[in-house]
Amino acid sequence: MRFVRSASVALILAVAGCSGGGSTRTTPVLPPNSTQSGTAKLPLSISIPRRPSSSTSARRSPRYVSPAAYTFALYDGATLVYDGYFASEASPPQFVTVYASSGPTTATAGTCSGTTTLTCGFVVTASVGTHSFDIVTYPIVDASDSVERVPLDTAPPTFSGTILSEGELTVDLAAGDNPGKTLTLLGAAAETDFFGPDVLPAGESTEISYIVKDAAGYQIIQPGNYDNGPVTITASPPGDVTMTPISQTAGPSATGAQTFDVTCTSVGANITFTAAANSHPNATYASGLTYSGANYPSGTLGSITLTCEGT
């Protein structure tokens, strides 16, 4: 008779900080009291800011996971294991289960606690061996008709909306307790706001400001790279203006606009500055998750036009 060993993986989500690296791999040390049929617990943490109360107009400080993250999808490889929405205003805050796989990998969610940082607990049960756990976040309810799904649906949902962030942790699970790890998420750049003059006399210089945001309109800041970076800003046509091209793998360390200087060199030229990024994840995820065009930014983030006038 063959026996399949299983590992119970405890996932702890910290819902308030920032994201970081994409895909990582860890190999646990087998505890001395482990047995072949024992369970394995893996503390796993991510963080997002707590939403402000309805009595204040202040928005949460942007972090990645995004402040607008509502739907959380947990995968084992390319298989959806858990789907829930984050009920931040509940007491206590918690994930409301929409879909939970019946196996072979399963997951349950607990309640959350904390003030600016909300710590949320998950327990995933999986076979002993190598697993690639992914978390993908969306800004809206996971239903094609934008209507809240019934909790504990038996069929895996079809996600709608552009993803906000994603990340993966590859780990070799051993029976017994496994060391705690952090699954870091990368923000997906979806739009860029530009601020600057419409007209500039030829031979003069000006400053153009820009903010790179996710699909929900929140600025992406460090720690953590862009999931679809680098974000680039270029001028077209390039010969009618001088500027240092922008190419950034990560956002700024704090909220606020970034800037670059330009100088008009040709009278009558219309210069378009365009921000762009990749239309797919920059990291190679072992899970092999794929997205349709409706679930990922198009690659063109935004633009601004400047006319060079005669003096």
Question: Three-state SS across 224-263?
Answer: CEECCCCEEEEEECHHHEECCCEEECECCCCCCCEEEEEE
Around Cβ 101, how many Cβ atoms within 10 Å? 18
Question: Confidence class of residue 282 from pLDDT cuts 50, 70 and 90?
Answer: low
Cβ atoms of residues 187 and 220 within 8 Å: yes
The alpha carbon of residue 198 and the mean position of all alpha carbons in its chain are separated, in whole angstroms, by 33
CA 288 to chain centre: 17
- Peptide bond before residue 223 is cis, with ω within 30 degrees of 0: yes
Between 106 and 64, the higher pLDDT residue = 106
Domains, the chain: 6-187 (no CATH), 191-309 (2.60.40.1930)
* Residue tagged 């063959």 (tokens): 2
In 3D space, the residue among 222, 219, 272 whose CA is nearest the CA of residue 243 turns out to be 272
Q: What is the pLDDT of residue 298?
A: 85
Task: Give mean pLDDT, residues 90-119.
Answer: 78
Lowest mean pLDDT among 73-77, 122-126, 146-150, 251-255: 146-150
Give the per-residue pLDDT at 117: 60
Dump pLDDT digits (tens) for 177-228. 778 777 777 888 999 999 999 999 988 999 999 999 998 888 988 877 888 8
Q: What is the mean pLDDT of residues 162-178?
A: 84
Asked whether residue 36 carries a pLDDT value surpassing 80, the answer given is no
CA distance 266 to 239: 8
Section 229-239 average pLDDT: 93
